[in-house]
Amino acid sequence: MTEEKAVTVFRNYLRIKTVHPAPAYDEVVEFLKNLAQEVGIQCSAVEVHPGRVVVVMTIPGSDPSLPSIMLNSHTDVVPVFEDQWVCDPFEAKKMENGDIYARGTQDMKSVGIQIRCRKFALSDLLVRQFLQSSSPFFVYIEAIRKLKKENRANFLRTVHITWMPDEEIGGKLGMAKFVQHEEFKKLNVGFALDEGLANPAEAFTVFNGERSGWWVQVKCPGKPGHGSRFIEDNAAEKVRRVINSFLSFRDEQEKKLKTKGCLRLGDVTTVNLTVLKGGVDGSLNVVPSEMFLGFDIRISLTEKLEDIEAMMKNWMKEAGEDVTCEISDYNSTPGVTSTDQSSPWWSTFSSVFEKLNIKIEIEIFPAATDIRYLREIGIPALGFSPMNKTPILLHDHNEFLNEKVFLKGVDVYCELIPALANVPRK
């Protein structure tokens, strides 16, 4: 049986190993350039750092003096646990029932096939394993392609579709560099859309802000010695006190989330122990002279960052002598985009869903995305992926998106993009 061309393109894209720590960025940039050419969209590439290229696709508006619309996404994917997969994660293997397994079908690459799905008639074989992508880039492209076909892509404002590297590792050499680049300034961005999350219920979820993400490294020095003795002031005792402090606070926040029904994950602060290192290699009988801890903390917008920092410093003192902590990735509060009807962006965005009779729920994004770099420089931006009736399986195994939900997302963007791109001058 001949495979649908759209499926072939999708699987070829999945085989591009844009996985950290060594993403095949050159290969994916070439893929995107060819894709833009096929759809008939202007395309350029901006190297913001050696080996880090931002792809920009542009649909010119009739009034280029107006601030433009930016539809953002990213090209990289997270590493895999190969023992959890039924096949090679980068083989893009298709099962007899049409399930396609590969890293990227869940986070970013799955929607890639949507550029062709309407043109080549999406096969039922794709339904089960089409991902739950957190990046709607190709939905943007398919919507633009459909609008062009229907002669509805004549916008007042210019629309830029951007694709960033390194989002999965913080965006320091991607979006963070791009927003400072002269080529970004030329885009004259007035409003942006970026990734969101699925909603298991009927509504769509819209994110107008993000928690502040901190990566905290703790060093616990102590007296070394032989494993047969009771050594006072050892590193492990200090580690235990540090862990107790952090995880007790974690318990408080988790209880708060579970007991107050009106709260969502983005409304509380999460703390997770992610690194625990120490010891002398091959010597289980040696008490080490130092041990290290790493914590991932996502701070809610209701907390004052200086209060959290002061609390952690107090925990270090309580843990013992010379215990120190360093915030290796200190993200300040990235700002919140207005959802007041006086905002032309929000009033336009929300009116589209009123027209479609679709309920939307406003939340604070629980993790971090490239969108924070836009909000930090004053650009209003919303996180939105048109996925409802779908479980939240971010970075998990065997994520999926139902075909009907997928196609509905394309139709939503066919209404949303023209509405935003035609917001009149104030």
Catalytic positions, please? 76, 167
Question: Dihedral of the CA atoms 388, 258, 307, 290 (nearest 10)?
Answer: -100
- How far is residue 289's CA from residue 360's CA, in Å, rounded to a whole number? 54
- How far is residue 237's CA from residue 145's CA, in Å, rounded to a whole number? 61
Please say whether the beta carbons of 108 and 165 come within 8 A: no
Please say whether the beta carbons of 141 and 27 come within 8 A: no
Please say whether the beta carbons of 20 and 126 come within 8 A: no
- How far is residue 100's CA from residue 219's CA, in Å, rounded to a whole number? 44
Question: DSSP secondary structure string, 61-102?
Answer: -S-TTSPEEEEEEE--B----GGGSSS-TTT-EE-TT--EE-
SS3 content of the chain, % helix, strand, coil (to 5): 35, 25, 40
- The 3-state secondary structure of 197-220 reads CCECCCCEEEEEEECEEEEEEEEE
Rounded to 10°, the helix 137-149/25-39 angle is 20
From residue 41, give the alpha-carbon distance in Å to each of 36, 118, 160, 187. 5, 18, 10, 16
Strand-pair partners of 57: 43, 161
Please say whether the beta carbons of 369 and 209 come within 8 A: no
In which element (H, E) is residue 49 found? strand 42-49
From residue 87, give the alpha-carbon distance in Å to each of 100, 379, 397. 10, 42, 12
Sheet holding 290-299, edge to edge: 270-278, 290-299, 212-221, 324-330
